[in-house]
Structure 1
Amino acid sequence: MPEFQVLSAFLRRIKRALKRRFKKTGRWPQGYFLFFPRTWAEGTARKAHKTFSADVGDYVETLEPMPAKVCEYDDRKFPKNRPGRYVITQQLKPGPVNVAVRGKHIALSAGHHAVVCRFALEGSILVMDRRDFDELVAECVPGNNPNKNKAARLRSFLAPERFIEPGARLKEGEDFKINILAAVVMEEEVIVVMDYSRMTQIHVVSSARMFEKEDLRPGSQIWRDRLWAKWPSAPDWVFETDDALAGLDQWRDTVLQTQRRMAILDVLNQADSFASGLGQQMASDLLFECAIHPDMPSFDLCSHDGLYARFRAHIPVFMRTFVSDRYFERCGLASNSLNPFYFNDYSDNNFIRGFVKVYRKIEVRVPAALYHLYQSEGLFDSDHTIGLPYLAPCEPTTRMFKVVPVRFFEDSANNRYHIIKAMPPDSWESAHTVESPFEDVSNAGFQSTLGPASFVEPLRNKLDPDEVARLRVGKRGRPPKPKRTGKPGRPKSTLTLRVKQRIEAIPRSLKRHTATFDEKENDPIEVEEGLTPQPRYHTRSSHRV
């Protein structure tokens, strides 16, 4: 599931698109929702999966009386007795488009409805041109399911061939299928919710009145009572910091009363914990920056006043990193391409190198101050036991950072990544002691990994070196320079048809040389240097002595 740092980039891109449109027209963008049940998952006989749910509230269909044309594939997938069928049977009225994020969930509102998205691993949001969207959804085809009958029910949209980049892994002629679950359609742009695995869930919240910008702000009645009720989570660490800190203190009191000893990394990865927005990557990196062992029991952390104070103070600082200008400039911008599915190498490389610390990294740059903290607590000493006093002298580094190898400990639920060599105490019954080898995340190739750019759809347009080499035309390297003769003036040059056309377009009075051309298009022709015609009027330089 994408974590807060990914949703923060989605939020940034959507807001930039809305503000760009507002600056151009002077009116806040209006939009309406489209839903595509034909692409929604069905689940299996063993495990049910429900993509769509609705909170009807005080909404009635008479508010949007115009019927909509329902596609036969959508009609089959959406039972008539399911609440919320009006989203495909009625023409939804346009209204102001707004967006908000809370933890790992994102909400979009337009007209009488708001949609809350709970993303699966490959779920993402894309802002694309309206014309591209109309062309994309014009044709749906059977999906990629190996079962032909199920593939016929689980439809996908067939992307035009122009969305395939030359030299990409996805070759021309291969089908480029996109699973669009829902979309907010505006005048010139469209916000698309898509998921290659189809496992993303969407929850519709409807209202008798139009949604406004204030409804998607923390503290509003809809924010508190309805918007996030489907998947309750703790307050957001960026947009509801005070409430999040209060929730953390309440969690500490509960742990001290019950003496709960679950490992702190497992607590951070619980959906209903105080760590709203954190997942495996952010939880591992947060503990690294706090110099806390991932296997430390919750009770040990909460009972140590100094350690808990450090942990409490650093969470807001850590989370604000992913709404900073530096993060948005390096990772949050859309790709500079007319292709909406272009792979953003710039964002992907910057995220892996600059905003992933220890999670799936074989080594990490530890800042000097943090390195000294690890040293002072004996965390780099393999003979030391965590929690005991450490009296050995420390050697402060004179560099800005130290490169330290990362250790990996495999776990059935949440793998451990850290740089601590000190031994866990015997009281840590669930501590991991068997280290395992692993591969750096930067070597994942064409697999989706981490960050706002690494999803299946754009990764299909990631350049394949073998394919680029096959498409390369001409000889490698720069062409040789013309031989120098030692005589004054430019050496003789060669012309092709393109240069010929440019020269013929120049007025005769401005031509500085004449040339003859062969009838064959690309045959190089030697050009003889001619005399430069005298200017019609005296120039300023002609009067100089």
Structure 2
Amino acid sequence: MNIGDKPYQSCTVEHDDPFTYNQSLEPEPPPTYLRARPFAVQKAAGTDYRPYLKPLVSGELHVKSRGKEIVFAAGYVSHAIRVHFGLEGTIAILRTADYLDIIAQDCPGNSTDPAKAMQMRSFVVPERLTIPGASRTGQHQTLAIFAAFTGEEDTIIFVDHNRLLRLHIMSLPQPWREKDLEPGSKLWPDIWSKNHGPDWIHEREKAEKQLDRWRASTLRGVAKPHVQTKVTHYFTSSADHGDNATVKKKLSSSLLKVICQRQDIFNGYGQHTTHDLLHSLAIWPSMPPAELCADDNLYSNFKQALSDYANQYISPTYRKRCLGTPNQNSPLVYNYKSDDNYLRQYLKVYRKSTVRMTAEEYNLFARSGLFNGSHIIGTPYQYSEQELIKVAYTDVPVMKYIPIGKKKRDPVYSVITAKRPSHWAYSSNVSVAQATDARLAGFSTTIGPASFYMFKQNQFGWKEKGKPGRIPLMHYANVPEPLPRENPTAA
């Protein structure tokens, strides 16, 4: 599959040691086991993954996530799949009976090219698993299922209507064990992508060491060792800085861009999470990494926040608010409560029009002059008491900064309206307006565990004419109101 000028292969197979799978070692499963669809077998002809399109003997399932990737391992002669979800890939858990009904009927895929659509294929969702009156009324709901782990009662499916999801198969000559998927195991370094580093939840110590090495590399050549903790010394004289071209590049790069690109250091962080992380630290998103690294206190807070922010997504509170199961028979139903909770409580400034800030949060920004359009970030600021708030909280507008020019760059979202130093990205040639809120996206997918295409297709259509309610059993006559009674105690 080609996306723009970058080739993407949906499924790849690992052959290097220790993944020395031998097909002859795997016993023949019973004839009742599931068989691959004919179109899938035909399309896989000549590929590395063709040997896997056959009935496989069952085994215990083990699962582990790390940053933006997750591994599922199962089978008698054990197979594992590493999944990278891309932009719109996700997981759903179905009853196995429902899964079998879904894969019983396939149809051409969602390409506008008829020839490609015939090759891509999708599965048709039975009407009983869809929601009457949903936004896709009049159209069959379809799913692009890349892979599935099928159990006696439940089945896990991997779905992506954009078809950017990627699978990497890794097979051992012996069954996987739960401890193989734990940090520090012998197999741990081999099961993850080489360009993805330690996880900020499960491997915090290693992630922090990686971050410290990045800090040292960022500061190298930018300032003398004895002044590396003082941002003002960055701009003393060119003699202090070594190679001017390197220094200029380091001082004009964007912290937001670096965090999103360097998954070897900031594994799991993307646009949404990076924006909200930096907002929690009162940091302008395009601040140069060198200036962050030069400030000991700011760097220490940043290191702590990387772990704290990531860990909120495995907390019982988050699971309760955003990962609950809707009270519906269909596993594909749109979860209104989950979506609302996520967009209100876990999406702060990215694609939001306002953010609710406590007095403590707001006053931290105000004392630094970050709400003053005449102030330059990083320079001394004398605030007045009138700039602070005494109420418990306030809603603050989120501004969207879009670069003006031929080179396309992602927008920046922030409540900060102070001026940026001239060498910072997004300091000039930008259009500024209050951001459009993701909560107003309607039927479009946005952000959060409930806002995926297969769920959004079952969101109620506002313009659809619903089924009329029950006919009332009793009618009331139009009786005129009674006249007011006289007051017997009146004189």
TM-score by length of 1: 0.76
The alignment status of 1:210 with 2:172, answered yes or no, reads no
| 8 Å contact from structure 1 (residues 95, 211) kept in 2 | no
Q: What is the 5 A alignment of 1:218-297? A: 218-224=183-189, 226-229=190-193, 231-259=194-222, 260-261=250-251, 262-297=253-288
Q: For 2:283 and 2:345, locate their aligned partners in 1 and report how far apart those are by CA, in whole Å.
A: 21
Shift of 1:227: 0.7
What is the number of equivalent residue pairs in this alignment? Answer: 436
Secondary structure (helix, strand or coil) at the match of 1:221 reads coil
Residue equivalent to 1:116: 82
Superposition deviation, residue 216 in structure 1: 1.3
Counterpart of 1:348?
339
3-state SS of paired residue (2:351): coil
Q: Which residue of 2 aligns with 1:142?
A: 108
Contact 1:116 / 1:228 at 8 angstroms: preserved in 2?
yes
Question: 1:265–1:414: 8 Å Cα contact kept in structure 2?
Answer: no
- Structure 1 residues 289 and 465: CA distance shift in structure 2, 3 A: same
Q: 1:55 aligns with which of 11, 14, 24?
A: 14
1:341 partner SS: coil
SS of residue paired to 2:100: helix
For the residue of structure 2 that corresponds to 1:267, the secondary structure is: helix
Quote the residue 1:197 is aligned against: 162
Which runs of structure 2 are paired with 1:366-515 in the superposition (5 Å)?
366-395=357-386, 396-411=388-403, 412-428=408-424, 430-432=426-428, 433-467=430-464, 469-473=465-469
- Contact 1:376–1:394 under 8 Å retained in 2: no
Q: Could you report, residue by residue, the CA deviation over 1:309-351 in whole angstroms, capped at 9, with x for unpaired residues?
A: 2212222121122111111101012322220110111100100
**Aligned partner of 1:320: which letter?**
N
Alpha-carbon contact 1:97-1:110 (below 8 Å) kept = yes
Equivalents in 1 of 2:264, 2:257: separation in Å?
10
Tell me the distance in 2 between the aligned counterparts of 1:190 and 1:383.
Answer: 58
Distance in 1, matches of 2:391 and 2:434, equals 29
Shift of 1:243: 1.2
- Listed one character per residue, the Cα deviations across residues 446-467 of structure 1 (whole Å, up to 9, x for unaligned) are 0000000101111111001221
SS of 1:374's equivalent? helix
Which residue in the other structure is 1:332 paired with? Answer: 323
Match of 2:146 among 170, 181, 184: 181
SS class of match (1:193): strand
Give the whole-Å Cα distance in 2 for the aligned partners of 1:65 and 1:218.
31
| 2:228 corresponds to | none
- 8 A Cα contact 2:195 2:264, kept in partner: no
5+ unaligned residues in a row in structure 2: which ranges? 223-249, 480-491
1:66 aligns to 2:28 (yes or no): yes
Counterpart in 2 of 1:43? 2
1:385 Cα shift? 1.1
CA distance in 1, matches of 2:129, 2:255: 44
CA deviation after TM superposition for structure 1 residue 474, in Å = 5.6
Structure 1 spans left out of the alignment, 5+ residues = 1-41, 485-545
CA separation of 1:434/1:46 partners in 2, compared to 1, >3 Å: closer, same or farther? closer
Distance 2:305 2:101 in 1: 47
Q: How high is the TM-score relative to the length of structure 2?
A: 0.84
Deviation at 1:71, TM superposition (A): 3.6
Greater alpha carbon shift after TM alignment, 181-190 vs 399-408: 399-408
Question: Which residue is 1:507 aligned to?
Answer: none
**What is the letter of the counterpart of residue 414 of structure 2?**
H
How much does 1:401 deviate? Answer: 1.6
Q: Is the 8 A contact 2:109 2:121 kept in 1?
A: yes
Q: Which structure: larger Rg? A: 1
Asked if the contact 1:123–1:194 (Cα under 8 Å) also holds between the matched residues in 2, the reply is yes
User: 1:235 touches 1:276 (CA, 8 Å); kept in 2?
Assistant: yes
Counterpart residue type for residue 53 of structure 1: T
Q: Tell me by how many angstroms 1:428 deviates.
A: 2.1
Q: CA deviation at 1:66?
A: 2.5
Question: Shift of the alpha carbon at 1:429?
Answer: 5.2
> What is the alpha-carbon distance in structure 2 between the residues aligned to residue 88 and residue 461 of structure 1?
31
Match of 1:94 among 58, 74, 77: 58
Aligned CA RMSD, in angstroms, stands at: 2.2
Q: Percent identity?
A: 31
